[in-house]
Amino acid sequence: MEPGPETAPREGTGQAPGSGQPGPVRVLLADDQPLLRMGFRLILEGEDDVEVVGEASDGADAVRLARRLEPDVVLMDVRMPVMDGIEATRQIAAGPQGPRIIILTTFDLDEYAFAGLQAGASAFLLKDVAPAELVSAVRLVASGDAVVAPRVTQRLLETYVRGLPAAPEAGSRPVQRDPLLDGLTPREQEVLEAIAEGLSNAEIAHRFFLSEATVKTHVRRILAKLHLRDRVQAVVYAYETGLVVPSQGLDY
């Protein structure tokens, strides 16, 4: 395990943008390549509202530091020694009030990408991401208001969804409806279906003649009622539970 710079855990100040609390977005870097960690650190620490609080060179170290330093966002490589990024993501996401996790991939259809998403990652970025896109992604994931890297995330979801049956075959057992869906209002269910189509808050507001603030409120309530971390998890949930089927959305 390579030692990396660390700072103390947050004490109510290192909150995500839009949370109403002061303090920069606290980021933990997890990658076994020191040069990549250095590059990400230089980019992120060039911003006034972002702070790199630690570095991990393997998955086990990432889990330990995430629990100790309580970052807002973790940039997580997939292929690392000791413990890979998928298992590290699963362990970090399983904790209460865990940080948002961005999986770093080499290819936009990485074979481990969906495993990371199902383990609790909020989004994916390519390792050759442009500096401005990296900073934007960290801010957006920390705020919880948007899905970052739409091109990558949408292609991944499209590939995943196309692998599901479009409709139950004759005589087959239909997908069982999740009882949690009964807790949604009709409008919240409509908003969830729109999220699963990949619509932004602005597009959802336009479709249903709502303000963006109202849409954000609906999204927050949906995530809370369904015990989901973010919009990416909501999209996967909508397809896995049969609320929507592949033919209804993600036609990019």
Say if 102 falls within a structural domain: yes
CB neighbours of 161 closer than 8 A, spacing ≥ 6?
239, 246, 249, 250
Closest CA to 31 of 133, 109, 125: 125
Distance CA 148, CA 73 (A): 13
Query: What average pLDDT does this structure show over 183-200?
Result: 88
DSSP β-ladder status, 100-105 and 25-30: unpaired
Give the count of alpha carbons within 13 A of 216, CB side only. Answer: 9
Two tokens, residue 137: 């992604």
Q: What per-residue confidence (pLDDT) applies to 159?
A: 65
Q: For residue range 9-54, list pLDDT tens digits in order.
A: 554 434 444 444 458 999 999 999 999 999 999 999 999 999 999 9
Same domain? For 35 and 140 the reply is yes
Which tens digit of pLDDT belongs to each residue from 70-114? 999 999 998 899 999 999 999 998 877 789 999 888 765 556 777
> Do 93 and 134 lie in a common domain?
yes
Inside any domain, residue 159: no
**Residues 124 and 30 both lie in one domain:** yes
Count the helix, strand and coil residues of the chain and give each as a percent rounded to the nearest 5.
Answer: 45, 10, 45
Structural domain total, the chain: 2
Same domain, 139 and 194: no
Same domain, 207 and 144: no
Q: Give the pLDDT confidence score for residue 128 in this predicted structure.
A: 86
| Domain shared by 88 and 30, yes or no | yes
Domain co-membership, 101 together with 195: no
What is the dihedral sign for C-alpha 197, 201, 207, 213? positive
Taking the CA atoms of residue 35, residue 40, residue 45 and residue 49 in that order, the dihedral angle to the nearest 10 degrees is: -170
Q: What is the pLDDT of residue 226?
A: 93
Question: Both 103 and 56 in a single domain?
Answer: yes
Do 142 and 190 reside in the same domain of the chain?
no
Task: Compute the distance between CA of residue 251 and CA of residue 194 in angstroms, rounded to an integer.
Answer: 13
